[in-house]
Amino acid sequence: MTSQTPTPTPAASPAPATHQAGAREALEGFGAYAAAMEQGDTPILGYLLFYAVFDGRVTFDDLHRWFLELGLDSKFLPPPIRQVDAYEQVTGKAGVRSTYRLSDTATPRRRRAPGEKVTEVTLMVRHVSRDNLKVTRHLVREVRDEGRTRLSYNTKLAEIEFWRDPLGSGRPGVGVLQVTPAHDAIGELGADEQAKVQKMLADIEDTYQRQCRFYTSDRLRSVVRTYVEALNPVRVRASGGVYFVHRSQVGPLAALRELTQRFGAGSHLARVPLPDQKEMREMIIAAFTTKAREDLDKLALDIAAAQRENHSEAAVANLLKRFRALQDSTTEHSTLLSSSLEETRASLLLVQAQFSNLMNRAG
């Protein structure tokens, strides 16, 4: 399964065993194919690359050690995990929540009467306040019917606070989680609902402790994606997730493959060798040209907007940086693919003229 970007994966979503088994079989098959191609006489143009990353138990020390062992560039290491980031993830919009039918908790075996509306409860965390001392959020209970009409709303079943660096260590992002149940409010609920509230509070604390120590699948996926995109790949699929990487990057790709496998829980990176044939070159050239056209069109619109508006030196510098990156990428892929990439070069010249006009006005 191809990794999807930028769509986030929930913090605790282990891959199903059947999916992991299928992924391993596919990976072994591609590995055998890659080995046969590399040991044979068939010239390789490069590799189609895709990957999937699931939650594991990877710490900063693990990543640092693996980067050294595999000869990967340490500038792509993520920063150490901060406790405040774990708090934000666990209590944020994509964090822990629980949804259930109210009737299910009251009488689980009772059949629904004809015309009876389903009443649904959602336990979620809502932001309350933030200052230099602490961040405060509340566990709230929202009751709606199937028509999405709100029937009731409990504003505070528990207080979930993050105290910033209470010991005054001076380290950025350090803090302490404190969960304080509102026992009176919880006690007004039925016994089954009380158990659900207590379970959610326990899940919040457990997930927070885990994410203070281990990187989430989203963060590990970002590490792989950022490293791959630094190899100047061609995005083969418009929505992302599948790349072409030239054969000159075979060393870093092998190291990335090993790194991803060490993440565990079914995580993998697969390299599919592409033979150096006309049809393969045309496919990659078409993919590069399409993406370059999109980037250049967006850059042209942004330059036109800068011409109409008051633009800062920083904004102009950023536009120039984007133009040079596209220019460098075109030159590199023109060499690697033995193609003039005439359409892209013509578009570059038009954008360059537009940028020169912007600079003349600024001057």
Q: Residues 256-303: pLDDT tens digits?
A: 999 999 998 899 999 999 888 878 878 888 877 877 778 878 888 888
* pLDDT at residue 63 tops 70: yes
Q: Which of 264, 283, 262 is closest to 272 using CA atoms?
A: 283
In this predicted structure, which of 166-180, 221-235, 273-287 has the lowest mean pLDDT? 273-287
> Quick one: what percent of the chain has pLDDT higher than 70?
75
The answer to whether 171 touches 152, Cβ cutoff 8 Å, is no
The answer to whether 31 touches 47, Cβ cutoff 8 Å, is no
* pLDDT at residue 334 tops 90: no
pLDDT average, residue stretch 75-86: 95
d(CA 82, CA 212): 7
**Rg over CA atoms, the chain:** 26
In this predicted structure, which of 78-87, 137-146, 258-267, 298-307 has the lowest mean pLDDT? 298-307
| CA of residue 148 relative to chain centroid, distance | 30
| CA of residue 337 relative to chain centroid, distance | 30
Give me the pLDDT at residue 153, please: 82
| CA of residue 58 relative to chain centroid, distance | 16
Task: Kindly give, in sequence order, each residue whose CB lies less than 8 Å from that of residue 57, ignoring residues fewer than 6 positions away.
Answer: 214, 264
Give me the pLDDT at residue 353, please: 73
357 backbone φψ class: left, alpha, beta (φ>0; ψ -120 to 50): alpha
Check the CA dihedral 149-152-157-162 and report its sign. Answer: positive
In this predicted structure, which of 31-45, 95-109, 287-301, 345-359 has the lowest mean pLDDT? 31-45
Give me the pLDDT at residue 7, please: 40
Grade residue 8 by pLDDT with cuts at 50, 70 and 90.
very low
232 backbone φψ class: left, alpha, beta (φ>0; ψ -120 to 50): left
Average pLDDT, the chain: 81
Q: What is the DSSP letter of 75?
A: G
Check the CA dihedral 39-44-46-52 and report its sign. Answer: negative
Grade residue 21 by pLDDT with cuts at 50, 70 and 90.
low
Q: Which of 314, 319, 318, 317 is closest to 299 using CA atoms?
A: 319
Instruction: Provide φ and ψ at 123, rounded to 5°.
Output: -95, 125
Q: Which of 55, 36, 37, 54 is closest to 46 using CA atoms?
A: 37
pLDDT average, residue stretch 165-178: 93
The answer to whether 44 touches 37, Cβ cutoff 8 Å, is yes
* pLDDT at residue 29 tops 60: no
Task: Kindly give, in sequence order, each residue whose CB lies less than 8 Å from that of residue 92, ignoring residues fewer than 6 positions away.
Answer: 125
For the record, the structure tokens of 215 come out as 């990187």
d(CA 91, CA 86): 9
* pLDDT at residue 42 tops 50: yes
The answer to whether 155 touches 138, Cβ cutoff 8 Å, is yes
* pLDDT at residue 106 tops 50: no
348 versus 249: the higher-pLDDT residue is: 249
The answer to whether 119 touches 99, Cβ cutoff 8 Å, is no
d(CA 181, CA 174): 23
304 versus 86: the higher-pLDDT residue is: 86
d(CA 194, CA 186): 6
Three-state secondary-structure class, residue 150: strand
* pLDDT at residue 115 tops 60: no
Domain ranges, ordered by start, for the chain: 17-79+216-276, 83-213, 280-362
By the 10 Å C-beta count (0-12 exposed, 13-18 middle, 19+ buried), 281 is classed as middle
The segment with the largest mean pLDDT, out of 171-185, 236-250, 302-316, is: 171-185
d(CA 121, CA 154): 11
d(CA 187, CA 308): 61
225 versus 363: the higher-pLDDT residue is: 225
The answer to whether 161 touches 136, Cβ cutoff 8 Å, is yes
